[in-house]
Amino acid sequence: MTKELYTELYQITFAGQILEGFTDTEVRNNVKALFRISDQRTARLFSGTRTTLKSGLSHDDALIYHERLTKAGAAVQISAQPRTATNAPSAEANTPPPASTDTRQPEPRPAGPQQEAPFEFTGSGREYFGIWIVNILLTIVTLGIYSAWATVRNNQYFYGNTRMEGASFQYLASPVTILKGRLIALAVLVAYVVLSEMYVEAALVFAIAFIPLVPWIMVRSLRFQAINSAYRNIRFDFQGKYGEAFMVAFVWPLLNMLTLLLLTPLVMKKTHEFIANGSRYGTTEFQLKADTGEYYRFFGKGLLIAVAFGVAAFLAMRHIGFTLGSVIAVIGYLTLFGYFMAGIANLFLCAVHLDSHDFESRLQPLQMTWIYLSNSFLVVITLGLFTPWAKVRMARYRAACTAMMVRGDLNHFVAAEQNRTSALGQELGDAFDVDFAAI
């Protein structure tokens, strides 16, 4: 028999309150720096809802965290977690346990301290150039047939050079499957063109009949991309429903138009929810935990930026000169471009959760704009030859600004995947590789 020992663990909780002698801005900046989190996550910590900052701590570690956060001005509290039983060592401890026949998914793991697992991209423009140029030449020579193989080679390179915690991502799609999907799409396009030339009414009916297929293609596309992506030999998956896709593709955009675009932030949130909540890593679901107000605040700031630059450009053109006004307008456009390009990715990734793990995205608008503009300039003056370096440069920056906040470790996903009954390979033949993404 074994004797049970109980380990007392503690957690640090915070309800957004600050200590006397500190300002709200000062404490927010201190907490953001201590935990290295985004503005969005910092705002959620100060929303007034009690949040567990750290858990699974010994009493000494809890005191250390309490002291550091108190010095930062945060009114945090230490509380004991429910006791958990562990088996004490005994004579039976050295006997290997029998093989389990239980096929149920493992119980949720206890929460523990989070550790940052940064992404990194290890590819180089010079290396990718060889793949890129061969893909182009073979696609031309084969009249486009090789494009399916080119897509797989490109994705395998970028997936394989994207790493986290020492492991690379994998792209597992078959070029033949992609080619089949493209041939079907080409056949549909040819049929539509022929009908439009011969029978206009028939072409109109054909186009209307195709509308219900759009949500289905969206779901199949997302599932195709997910199911052919893997990390540590565990495939991703997508289980979004047709009805959800129909809402995202047609209903929400229509309601947005009827309300004069006032629902734009809500439409984006619904799109993000559809993609995130339908995604899986092995058998574990992703979840989007975001407040609608965050999306409205994000778009509200963008609108204020647009109005400020628009007014400044108009006044400059009216009272100073057209040239200065045009310069201000261009600067305003680039500012908005960087704000949305970086901000939407940050908004989405910082709201995504996988089990007890979170994600961080720290893309900077100015840096994103600079990389995009300089890449575009260099691609133009080199007649396109800089394209491989441009793609690698952007991939490297995106990876460097992205991290997974891991609580405990990722090994439990492997255990869950071993119990998964899968016939994934049988479901790939009717998939399309149409691009549809959240960011």
| CATH classification at residue 8 | 3.30.1390.10
Short-list 295, 77, 382, 204, CA closest to 390: 382
What is the Cα–Cα distance from 331 to 338, expressed in whole angstroms? 11
Specify if 71 maps to a domain.
yes
Mean pLDDT for the chain overall: 82
Specify if 68 maps to a domain.
yes
How many CB atoms neighbour CB 369 within 10 A? 19
Short-list 319, 313, 314, 315, CA closest to 332: 313
- Residue 56: domain span: 4-85
What is the Cα–Cα distance from 72 to 24, expressed in whole angstroms? 11
Number of domains into which the chain is organized: 1
How many CB atoms neighbour CB 267 within 10 A? 18
Note whether 15 and 67 are within 8 A (CB).
no
Rounded to the nearest 10°, the torsion over CA 122, 123, 126, 128 is 170
Structure tokens, 434: 């149409």
Residue 348: partners with Cβ closer than 8 Å, 6 or more residues away: 272, 276, 288, 361, 438, 439
By three-state DSSP, how is residue 196 classified? helix
Specify if 56 maps to a domain.
yes
Per-residue pLDDT tens listing for the chain (439 residues): 444 444 567 788 888 888 877 788 888 888 877 776 777 778 888 888 788 887 777 776 777 777 778 888 888 888 776 554 444 333 333 333 333 333 334 444 444 567 889 999 999 999 999 999 999 999 999 999 999 999 999 999 999 999 998 889 999 988 988 888 888 888 888 888 888 888 878 878 888 888 898 898 888 888 888 989 999 888 899 999 999 999 999 999 999 999 999 999 999 999 999 999 999 998 889 999 989 999 999 999 999 999 999 999 999 998 888 888 999 999 999 999 999 999 999 999 999 999 889 999 999 999 999 999 999 999 999 999 999 999 999 999 999 999 999 887 666 665 445 444 333 333 333 444 455 666 6
**Which residue type does 437 have?**
A
What is the Cα–Cα distance from 327 to 114, expressed in whole angstroms? 46
| pLDDT computed for residue 369 by the predictor | 93
**Where do the H-state alpha helices sit in 211-321?**
213-227, 242-246, 252-258, 264-278, 292-319
Specify if 112 maps to a domain.
no
What is the Cα–Cα distance from 21 to 107, expressed in whole angstroms? 44
Rounded to the nearest 10°, the torsion over CA 270, 276, 278, 279 is 160
How many CB atoms neighbour CB 45 within 10 A? 19
What is the Cα–Cα distance from 128 to 300, expressed in whole angstroms? 40
Task: Using CB atoms within 10 Å of the CB of residue 352, give its burial: 0 to 12 exposed, 13 to 18 middle, 19+ buried.
Answer: buried
Residue 227: partners with Cβ closer than 8 Å, 6 or more residues away: 235, 236, 237, 238, 424, 427, 428, 431
Specify if 354 maps to a domain.
no
For the chain, the distance separating the N- and C-terminal CA atoms, rounded to the nearest angstrom, is 55
| pLDDT computed for residue 82 by the predictor | 59
Q: What is the pLDDT of residues 50-100, one digit of tens each?
A: 888 877 777 767 777 777 788 888 888 887 765 544 443 333 333 333 333
Short-list 139, 127, 137, 148, CA closest to 388: 127
Specify if 226 maps to a domain.
no
| pLDDT computed for residue 411 by the predictor | 65
Note whether 180 and 428 are within 8 A (CB).
no
Q: What is the pLDDT of residues 346-401, one digit of tens each?
A: 999 999 999 889 999 999 999 999 999 999 999 999 999 999 999 999 999 999 99
**Where do the H-state alpha helices sit in 279-386?**
292-319, 322-351, 365-381
Specify if 161 maps to a domain.
no
Note whether 104 and 419 are within 8 A (CB).
yes
Residue with tokens 């490109």: 154
Residue 374: partners with Cβ closer than 8 Å, 6 or more residues away: none
| pLDDT computed for residue 121 by the predictor | 96
| pLDDT computed for residue 136 by the predictor | 96
Specify if 322 maps to a domain.
no
| pLDDT computed for residue 439 by the predictor | 64
Note whether 163 and 118 are within 8 A (CB).
no
What is the Cα–Cα distance from 90 to 253, expressed in whole angstroms? 64
